[in-house]
């Protein structure tokens, strides 16, 4: 069950990332063509207002298709329709019209020439591979020549659409940290969260003073040696002040006050202890929000340092693949919802930060290219994107391989 919860959590974070792209693209006038829960091919799909919504066969995350990510070029015609021409040579003439229009960068004429190509394909007897290539070619060229194509939009719109994915992850991380700080991670209370049956003393395990005294989970310690305690700090100070002498506790249990037998705390790891864990109180909403913002800053800084240390073995040992992430999430889920939500916040923030690396095909690479295109006043063609993406894909695969090696080898996750 914990494994299922872990997978669903990771899938939800990826879906939220894609939803960021989807809704901002619609807001700035780029109508996405597809939005999937999971990845295609589709198990179920339905088209509404020109957008295909579906549930994919690969149940992890989501998928959004934004039209015309690249400026179309004459060479795209050969890339898409090469297999088709070998089976349907008569398609050369209508395709030449599309090719010539793209070469002249007359995208309106190229779009107007596509119906003739589609009409000839409609009656053709093509192999499954050629038919699939033809369908993809028509769709991609129509999207690339459309008025709402991504590459035709103003620079700020393109940056906004791409930045919305990591931005959604940042907002989720901020919200999750805020919730955690409101319910936990605050000052310790005088309520017992955990009573250890045994504690480690030297080389042996012995019965803990708390267990001997009869403390139970949920007890609230209201007096220590006759003095009132109202929070965790007072309780800790009272235990330390005995320096190992007898300790008489009065607790409130189910609305009743009970006096427990006196016990002596043990000196463990340089401090006197009973063998208990205390509940954490939450912070007020305003302070919790401030602490959540600070947490995002600290974690982002440390993540940047970790990425910079990839040249060192210690830095590489910190990388984890989806295998390790799911494994760690399952462990956190078994430890309680606070631990699980905290880990999801870390993962969401890391997902957003990783995607901001200035490498194609990551979001950061698309943002960097959009800014360069804005400065030069002209978009790159698809072929240029593909060449630039080779380095980014290689580095991303390398990170995935290192993470998977760590997880399989037992160092990560």
User: pLDDT per residue over 235-251, tens digit each?
Assistant: 888 888 888 889 899 99
Listed residues 238, 255, 280: the one ending a domain: 280
Residues 295 and 275 in one domain: no
Residues 264 and 292 in one domain: no
User: Is 383 inside a domain boundary?
Assistant: yes
Q: Which 3-state string (H, E, C) describes 24-71?
A: HHHHCCCCCCEEEEEEEEEEEEEEECCEEEEEEEEEEEEEEECCCCCE
Supply the pLDDT for residue 186: 74
Q: What domain range includes position 256? A: 190-280
Share of the chain residues as helix, strand and coil, in percent rounded to the nearest 5: 60, 20, 25
Residues 261 and 245 in one domain: yes
User: Is 86 inside a domain boundary?
Assistant: yes
Residues 250 and 313 in one domain: no
Task: Report the b/e string of 269-295 with b at 16+ CB within 10 A.
Answer: eeebbbbbebbbbbbeeeebbebbeeb
Supply the pLDDT for residue 413: 44
Residue 251 pairs in a beta bridge with 221, 258
Percentage of the chain beyond pLDDT 90 is 46
- For 84, half-sphere exposure in the C-beta direction (CA atoms, 13 angstrom radius) is 25
Residues 274 and 362 in one domain: no
Please state, as a whole number, how many other Cβ atoms lie within 10 Å of the Cβ of residue 369.
21
Residues 207 and 316 in one domain: no
Supply the pLDDT for residue 296: 92
Listed residues 92, 125, 145: the one ending a domain: 145
Q: Which residues are within 8 A (CB) of 393 and not within 5 positions of it... i.e. 6 or more apart?
A: 360, 361
User: Is 95 inside a domain boundary?
Assistant: yes
Residues 303 and 326 in one domain: yes
How many domains are contained in the chain? 3
The model's pTM is 0.75
Q: Extract the runs of DSSP E, i.e. beta strands, from 169-301.
A: 188-195, 198-201, 204-207, 220-224, 227-228, 249-253, 256-259, 266-268, 271-273, 276-280
Residues 276 and 292 in one domain: no
User: Is 167 inside a domain boundary?
Assistant: no
Supply the pLDDT for residue 111: 95
User: Is 49 inside a domain boundary?
Assistant: no
Residues 101 and 119 in one domain: yes
- For the domain that residue 245 is a member of, what is the CATH number? 2.30.42.10
Q: At what angle do helices 285-308 and 155-183 cross, to 10 degrees?
A: 120
User: Is 52 inside a domain boundary?
Assistant: no
Residues 401 and 385 in one domain: yes
Q: What tens digit of pLDDT does each residue of 64-101 get? A: 999 999 899 999 999 999 989 999 999 999 999 999 99
Listed residues 219, 251, 280: the one ending a domain: 280
Residues 235 and 302 in one domain: no
User: Is 68 inside a domain boundary?
Assistant: no
d(CA 335, CA 276): 17
* Count of residues making up the chain: 413
CA distances in angstroms from 360 to 158, 270, 390, listed in the order given: 15, 52, 8
Residue 68 pairs in a beta bridge with none
């Amino acid at each position: 069950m914990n494994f299922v919860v872990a997978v669903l959590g990771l899938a939800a974070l990826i879906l939220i990332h894609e939803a960021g792209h989807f809704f901002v693209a619609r807001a700035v006038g780029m109508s996405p063509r597809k939005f999937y829960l999971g990845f295609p091919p589709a198990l179920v799909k339905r088209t509404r207002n020109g957008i295909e919504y579906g549930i994919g066969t690969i149940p992890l995350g989501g998928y959004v298709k934004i039209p015309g990510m690249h400026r179309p070029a004459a060479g795209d015609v050969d890339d898409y329709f090469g297999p088709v021409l070998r089976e349907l040579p008569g398609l050369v003439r209508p395709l030449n019209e599309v090719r010539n229009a793209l070469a002249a960068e007359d995208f309106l004429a190229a779009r107007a020439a596509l119906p003739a190509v589609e009409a000839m394909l409609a009656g053709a007897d093509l192999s499954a591979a050629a038919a699939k290539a033809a369908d993809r070619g028509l769709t991609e060229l129509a999207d690339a020549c459309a008025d709402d194509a991504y590459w035709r939009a103003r620079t700020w719109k393109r940056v906004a659409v791409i930045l919305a994915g990591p931005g959604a992850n940042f907002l989720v991380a901020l919200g999750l940290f805020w919730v955690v700080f409101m319910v936990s991670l605050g000052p310790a209370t005088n309520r017992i969260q955990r009573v250890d049956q045994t504690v480690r003393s030297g080389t042996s395990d012995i019965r803990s003073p708390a267990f001997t005294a009869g403390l139970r989970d949920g007890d609230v310690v209201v007096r220590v040696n006759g003095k009132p305690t109202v929070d965790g700090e007072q309780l800790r100070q009272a235990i330390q002040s005995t320096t190992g002498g007898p300790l008489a506790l009065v607790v409130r249990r189910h609305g009743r006050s009970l006096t427990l037998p006196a016990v002596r705390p043990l000196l463990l790891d340089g401090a006197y202890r009973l063998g208990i864990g205390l509940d954490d109180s939450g912070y007020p909403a305003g302070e919790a929000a401030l602490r959540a913002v600070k947490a995002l800053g600290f974690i982002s800084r440390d993540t940047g340092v970790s990425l910079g240390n990839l040249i060192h073995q210690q830095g590489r040992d910190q990388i984890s693949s989806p295998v390790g992430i799911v494994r760690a999430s399952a462990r956190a889920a078994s430890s309680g919802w606070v631990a699980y939500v905290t880990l999801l916040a870390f993962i969401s923030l890391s997902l957003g930060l990783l995607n901001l690396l200035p490498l194609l095909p990551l979001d950061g690479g698309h943002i960097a290219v959009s800014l360069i295109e804005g400065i030069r006043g002209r978009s790159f063609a698809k072929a240029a994107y593909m060449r630039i993406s080779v380095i980014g894909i290689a580095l991303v695969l390398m990170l995935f391989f290192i993470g998977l090696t760590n997880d399989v080898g037992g160092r990560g996750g």
